[in-house]
Structure 1
Amino acid sequence: MITLFGEGRGFRVVWLLEEMELPYRLRPVDLLAGVENDTEFLAVNPAGFIPALQDGDVTMVESIAIMEYLIARYGPTPLAPDPHDPTFPAYQQFLHLGEAGLAASLYFVTGARRLAPEAERDNWSARQALRVFESRRGVVKRQLARTPYLAGDTFTAADISVAYALLSARRSGVMTFDEVEEAYVARTTERAGYKRTMAACHATRGWDESVFGRKDDAGSAPARG
């Protein structure tokens, strides 16, 4: 049984697992409460960050690496084009840009805005991280002006990576969507796999509800098991 520890970027992994229809267990991890006494989690990842994956004897951290592992281990899947497919370069680029260019930058912006002392919330590093986020957002928007999904005409794991980052940025108040982004996010979040993911990820769904004052149309489907 695949066990995933923690939501946050782990949302990407759950979404992939749901799209691939793989059985898994989602084990919550409360970082805000502290993980000092969470011995089960710390045995998997002593560094104490999420997500972390256990799959038999395999232990992994880092959401994109976990996604690539699951695709390679349990594929093939239409969520990842063949390396010889003309869409593969775009797929590979946006799979990683969703973290390296978007979510990683967003982490420092939201950390400064939500956790830093008042005088440090608009510091130089936070502004630089926001500039990085916006420049990579521009790369995404230019691609979406050409194709409905980031690797072309078909939804792939690259869309899971990037859509997660865009949705997190909107929930954090870092950005509002323009028409292109709004249509793109609507296409991705209308998928049954996304709705099952929202039903499984209680913390993410609660964050969404607290920001927008509504319940996401996620249904009540349980995580696969």
Structure 2
Amino acid sequence: MITVYGEGRGFRVIWLLEEMGLPYRLRDVDLLSGLEHDPEFGSINPAGFIPALVDGAVTMVESIAILEFLLARHGPTPLAPPPHDPTYGRYQQFLHLGEAGLAMAWYVVNCSANLAPPDERNNWGARFAREIFETRLGLVTRQLTHSQYLAGDHFTAADISVVYALEYAERGGFRFGDSERAYIARCTARQGYRRAMAACHATRGWVESLARARSAGEEAS
């Protein structure tokens, strides 16, 4: 049985597992309580971040590496085009862009906005990280003028990678244009996404709390 430790970026992993129809167990991780209170997870990932994966004798961290591992071990699957496919280069580019260019940059923006002291929330590093996010987003926007999905006309794991990052930014207040919003809607309408959201209680609770806060703010205004 495949075990996924933690949500957050682990949502990507759960979404992929649902798309592939693979059985798994999602094990909650409370990072705020500290590794000393969760020795099982501490032994899986002593660095103390999520997600982590255990599949048989294999233990892994880093969400994009986990996606590639699952696709290779449990494939072949249309979610990952083979190297000789004309879309393979775009697939690889956007698979990794979703984390390296988008989600990680927005992580800095988000942490600065929510965790930094008030006078440091719009610091140089946060502004530069937002600029990185926006320039890399331009690659997504440009590709969407050519195809419905990022590798081509078919949904792949690259879309899982990028849509996670786009939703993360959107929930943090970033406003997308029409093409990006339509793309997010196409991907999140999939049954695999909906099953993943149903399985990820913490993620679903966070999304619902944001929606309630937005609604309360609109009523107050």
TM-score of Structure 1 vs Structure 2, range by shorter chain: over 0.9
- Within-5 A mapping of 1:93-132: 93-132=93-132
2:36 and 2:66 map into 1 onto residues whose CA distance is: 24
CA RMSD of aligned residues (A): 1.0
Match status 1:185 vs 2:184: yes
Compare 202-211 and 188-197 and name the one that shifted more: 202-211
1:36 and 1:136 map into 2 onto residues whose CA distance is: 38
Q: Which runs of 5+ in 2 are unaligned?
A: 214-221
Q: Name the count of aligned residue pairs.
A: 213
- Within-5 A mapping of 1:70-219: 70-173=70-173, 175-213=174-212
Deviations 1:36-60 (A, max 9, x none): 2101100100111000001111000
1:134 and 1:198 map into 2 onto residues whose CA distance is: 26
Shift of the alpha carbon at 1:33?
3.1
Q: Is the 8 A contact 1:198 1:204 kept in 2?
A: yes
Match status 1:53 vs 2:53: yes
Deviations 1:155-209 (A, max 9, x none): 0000000000000101111x11211011101100010000000000111111111
1:172 and 1:203 map into 2 onto residues whose CA distance is: 16
1:25 and 1:196 map into 2 onto residues whose CA distance is: 13
- Runs of 4+ with >3 A deviation: none
Q: Is the 8 A contact 1:50 1:61 kept in 2?
A: yes
Aligned equivalent of 1:221: none
2:180 and 2:32 map into 1 onto residues whose CA distance is: 30
Shift of the alpha carbon at 1:31?
1.6
Deviations 1:17-41 (A, max 9, x none): 0000000000011123333210110
Higher helix share: 2
